[in-house]
């Protein structure tokens, strides 16, 4: 019987972009935070291209009792199966809140190094319902006329002495 030789194809490393979310307190020890990210990526065969603090921002909603978070962005190359392992390590870690990893084959090294956080844009003020600055007047019924052509609605009796009719 001929033996089958199975060759494991060496996975080709692909470029990835990962955004790690840490509690806001991690910015006090930034060196250790970056070391944590570097360790997770390199543990699974990844090679760091760019690793830097992105920004510290208020979170849209509370996450594990944190209202603010520190974002760390990492560009790295790694084999495909390493991404799942990196995400698993983050989920098991108590130091990291979240991570998102996406392919970054559309970026070159200069673009990766140039990444900076975008300024937070304030949402425009919402207009109050009481603000009628556009000429709207509740009393103005346009061409529909007044409502005095209808008789008043009959009052509903609150407690009726007679039993309700049955069908």
For 92-150, write each residue's pLDDT tens digit: 988 899 999 999 888 887 777 777 777 777 777 776 665 555 555 555 556 666 667 67
- Sheet strands side by side (includes 47-63): 47-63, 66-78, 14-23, 98-103
The alpha helices in the chain, defined as continuous H runs, are: 30-43, 80-92, 109-113
Q: Are 66 and 27 in contact (CB under 8 A)?
A: no
What residue segments make up the domains of the chain, in order of their start?
14-111
| Cβ neighbours for 60, distance < 8 A, ≥ 6 positions apart | none
Model pTM score:
0.64
b/e sequence 133-165, b meaning 16+ C-beta within 10 Å: eeeeeeeeeeeeeeeeeeeeeeeeeeeeeeeee
What is the rounded distance in angstroms from the CA atom of residue 48 to the CA atom of residue 58? 27
Query: 3.40.50.970, 3.30.70.60, 3.40.50.150, 3.40.50.300: which CATH number matches 14-111?
Result: 3.30.70.60
53 vs 119, more confident: 53
Supply the pLDDT for residue 84: 93
With 70 as the cut, is the pLDDT of residue 4 above it? no
Count of CB atoms situated within 10 Å of the CB of 21: 20
Distance of CA 126 to the CA centre of its chain: 23
How many angstroms separate the Cα of 127 from the Cα of each of 110, 124, 131? 43, 9, 7
Residue position matching structure tokens 């005095």: 148
């Amino acid at each position: 019987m001929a033996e089958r030789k199975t060759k494991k194809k060496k996975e080709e490393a692909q470029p990835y972009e990962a955004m790690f979310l840490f509690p806001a307190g991690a910015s006090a020890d930034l060196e250790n935070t970056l070391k944590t990210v570097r360790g997770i990526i390199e543990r699974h065969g990844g090679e760091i291209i760019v690793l830097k603090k992105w920004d510290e921002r208020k979170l849209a909603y509370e996450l594990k009792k944190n209202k603010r978070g520190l974002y760390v962005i990492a560009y790295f190359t790694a084999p495909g199966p390493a991404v799942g392992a990196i995400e698993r390590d983050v989920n098991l870690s108590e130091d990291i809140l979240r991570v998102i990893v996406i392919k970054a084959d559309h970026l070159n090294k200069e673009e990766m190094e140039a990444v900076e956080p975008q300024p937070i844009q304030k949402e425009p003020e919402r207009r109050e319902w009481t603000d009628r600055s556009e000429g709207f007047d509740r009393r103005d019924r346009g061409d529909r006329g007044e409502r005095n052509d209808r008789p008043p609605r009959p009052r509903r009796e609150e407690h009726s002495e007679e039993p309700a009719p049955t069908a």
